[in-house]
């Protein structure tokens, strides 16, 4: 999507892809590289590190390290989470980490429809923030150019 100033803003599906890529990049980071970055990441991301590490320690072998470009995009996307309210931030990040709706329902106690509304609210908050701060999209490309 382009705004009046012809600045590209990711649509909702593309924003989800960027968040999932950030979670995957975080999963692929060597521990030594992730450790110094932890203090600047949102709390919800820091708290998910043990879960992400457990996912990669299941005997399937070592994941390939992320590219420098993927790490740069991850850093930018993680800071976008800070514009969400805490409830939305937690759920947006959980979905980026591919946690199933059923598991989130069990942990949260609300229906998946309610949780989807919270996630959509968080994604809208991020998109509004990006529309107001297009400089934070430097280096990101529209979906047709990804790949």
Where in the chain are the domains?
Answer: 12-145
Q: Which of 4, 25, 109 minimizes the C-alpha distance to 68?
A: 25
> How many CB atoms are closer than 10 A to CB 62?
9
pLDDT, one tens digit per residue, over 88-108 is 999 999 999 999 999 999 999
Q: Which of 2-11, 90-99, 104-113 shows the lowest per-residue confidence on average (mean pLDDT)?
A: 2-11
Crossing angle for the helix pair 43-56 and 86-96, nearest 10 degrees?
A: 20
Q: Which of 8-17, 85-94, 117-126 shows the lowest per-residue confidence on average (mean pLDDT)?
A: 8-17
Q: Are 131 and 9 in contact (CB under 8 A)?
A: yes
> Cα torsion for 68, 137, 6, 127, to the nearest 10°?
140
Q: What is the model's pLDDT at position 141? A: 72
Q: What is the model's pLDDT at position 56? A: 53
What number is the average pLDDT over the span 109-131?
96
Q: What is the model's pLDDT at position 125? A: 97
Q: What is the model's pLDDT at position 9? A: 84
DSSP three-state, residue 2: strand
- pLDDT averaged over every residue in the chain: 82
59: left (phi over 0), alpha (psi -120 to 50) or beta: left
């Amino acid at each position: 999507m382009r705004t009046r100033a012809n600045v590209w803003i990711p649509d909702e599906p593309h924003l989800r892809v960027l968040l999932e890529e950030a979670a995957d990049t975080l999963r692929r980071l060597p521990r030594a590289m992730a450790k110094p970055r932890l203090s600047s990441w949102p709390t919800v991301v820091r708290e998910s590190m043990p879960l992400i590490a457990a996912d990669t320690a299941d005997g399937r072998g070592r994941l390939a390290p992320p590219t420098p470009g993927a790490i740069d995009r991850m850093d930018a996307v993680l800071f976008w989470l800070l514009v969400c309210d805490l409830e939305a931030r937690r759920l947006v990040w959980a979905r980026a980490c591919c946690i199933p709706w059923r598991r989130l329902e069990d942990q949260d106690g609300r229906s998946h429809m309610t949780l989807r509304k919270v996630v959509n609210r968080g994604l809208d908050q991020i998109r509004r923030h990006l529309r107001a701060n297009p400089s934070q999209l430097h280096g990101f490309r529209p979906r047709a150019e990804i790949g």
